[in-house]
Amino acid sequence: MTGEVVIFWVTAIFSVAGAVGMVISRKAVHSALWVAFTMINLAVLYFSLGGAFLGTTQIVVYTGAVMMLFLFVLMIVGVDSSDSLIETIKGQRIVGTIFAFAMGALLTSAITTTGFSAAAGVAGANEASGGNIEGLAQLIFGRYLLAFEVTSALLITAALGAMVLAHNERWTPRKTQAQLQRERTLAGHPTPMPSPGVLALHNSVDTPALLPDGSPSQESLPRIFKSVQHPDDSTNNEVTS
Amino acid sequence: MNPNNYLVLAGILFTIGAFGVLVRRNAIIVFMSVEMMLNAANLAFVAASHITGTLDGQAAAFFVMVVAAAEVVVGLAIIVVIFRTRRSASIDEASLLKY
């Protein structure tokens, strides 16, 4: 057994396990961690296939940038958001499973019957151009220069699109400190609002503080969490009241 | 080692990604499954580079990575906007365009 074979089987088993873990995880955060695991394994595979540049890029771009972006969005959208179990299309789960397995069987059989028997290996190509990065640079800035330029336009468009989508236009002028203080005094609650999580089981911002009589205080929550009911609230109240 | 093994592994990863897209309802997990499919395609490209002995496959995989990064940025921005207005990350909720 050569080193390539060992690396292939280890990373193949790990990456398939990571992919399966991603699909069957209940929580989205666990899925994100499984995907990051799979991507690191694929990077190791790229290294063993002679793609040092691609392996590094895989780690930097995918596990570094893309998966962290996913985790940031998960923090915004809510870590607890799990799947609804209601099927909007009847039997979609079963049919989807059957189709996925059929496609897997089709791909596997097609590759194994019509595939290749020997590999040339990129070591020669890397040597000819003085290294993997140099060889890729000659291709990207030579034969694929037009595609590279179009890619830059795509990236700028994507960045602008994300900015436009995430941008919130302010329609009213920002209130001054004096205006805020006047409003607060006139509203009859001049002191700061109670902070969330006080005397409750958790001290996270989405847990309402408990009043002396044990009832949760909705005033203690930040505005965006007011409608959210924490899963532990019901038990929490029963214990204290 | 037979180079078909790499392609079969890419096919299996692609299948698992497609399964996730078909079965899961959380928009973010669906998106991660799409990423998995793109990674499987990348692996197939790098394996093709290994088989033919040229670097063209690796250049193609590099471009796929760039496109995937752009796609993630716009897709996650859309998910955040939908979550802001509808308070849900489920793909069944965003059916307004149907009517």
- Tell me the mean pLDDT in the region A139-143: 92
Query: Of the ranges A87-96, A163-172, A220-229, which one carries the lowest mean pLDDT score?
Result: A220-229
- Tell me the mean pLDDT in the region A74-90: 68
Q: Do A140 and B62 touch (CB under 8 A)?
A: yes
| A98 has a chain B CB within 8 A of its CB | no
Ranges assigned E (strand) in B11-85: none
Strand partners, B90: B26
Q: Is the pLDDT reported for residue A79 higher than 70?
A: no
Residue A233's pLDDT is 45
Q: Is the pLDDT reported for residue A86 higher than 80?
A: no
What is the spatial distance between Cα A67 and Cα A18, in angstroms, rounded to a whole number? 14
- Tell me the mean pLDDT in the region A47-60: 92
Q: Is the pLDDT reported for residue A240 higher than 70?
A: no
Q: Is the pLDDT reported for residue A130 higher than 80?
A: yes
DSSP line for chain A: --HHHHHHHHHHHHHHHHHHHHHH-SSHHHHHHHHHHHHHHHHHHHHHTT-HHHHHHIIIIIIIIIHHHHHHHHHHH-TT-------SSTTHHHHHHHHHHHHHHHHHHHHHHHS-S----SHHHHHHTTSHHHHHHHIIIIITHHHHHHHHHHHHHHHHHHHHHH-----SPPPPHHHHHHHHHHTT--SPPPPTTTTSS--STTSPEEPTTS-EEGGGS-GGGTTPPPTTHHHHHHHH-
Burial A20-38 (b: 16+ CB within 10 A, else e): bbbbebebbeebbbbbbbb
Of B81 and A7, the structure prediction assigns the larger pLDDT to A7
Residue A7's pLDDT is 93
Number of cross-chain residue pairs from A and B with Cβ atoms under 8 Å apart: 246
* Radius of gyration of chain B measured on its C-alpha atoms: 17
Q: Do A49 and B47 touch (CB under 8 A)?
A: yes
Mean pLDDT of chain A: 84
pLDDT-based confidence at residue A222 (cuts at 50, 70, 90): confident
A178-237 residues touching B, CB cutoff 8 A? 227
- Residues of A with CB below 8 A from B48's CB? none
- Tell me the mean pLDDT in the region A217-225: 76
The dihedral sign for the CA sequence B48, B53, B56, B59: positive
Q: Is the pLDDT reported for residue A227 higher than 70?
A: no
Residue B11's pLDDT is 94
Of A185 and A189, the structure prediction assigns the larger pLDDT to A185
Residue A39's pLDDT is 94
Q: Do B23 and A162 touch (CB under 8 A)?
A: no
The alpha carbon of residue A61 and the mean position of all alpha carbons in its chain are separated, in whole angstroms, by: 13
pTM of the model: 0.80
- Residues of A with CB below 8 A from B70's CB? 154-155, 157-158
Q: Is the pLDDT reported for residue A235 higher than 70?
A: no
- Residues of A with CB below 8 A from B61's CB? 51, 54
Of A231 and A209, the structure prediction assigns the larger pLDDT to A209
Maximum C-alpha span of chain B = 54
CA nearest neighbour of B75 among B87, B64, B85, B83: B83
ipTM score assigned to the predicted complex: 0.91
- Residues of A with CB below 8 A from B90's CB? 81, 83-84
Q: Do A83 and B78 touch (CB under 8 A)?
A: no
Q: Is the pLDDT reported for residue A191 higher than 90?
A: no
- Residues of B with CB below 8 A from A12's CB? 5, 9
pLDDT-based confidence at residue B21 (cuts at 50, 70, 90): very high
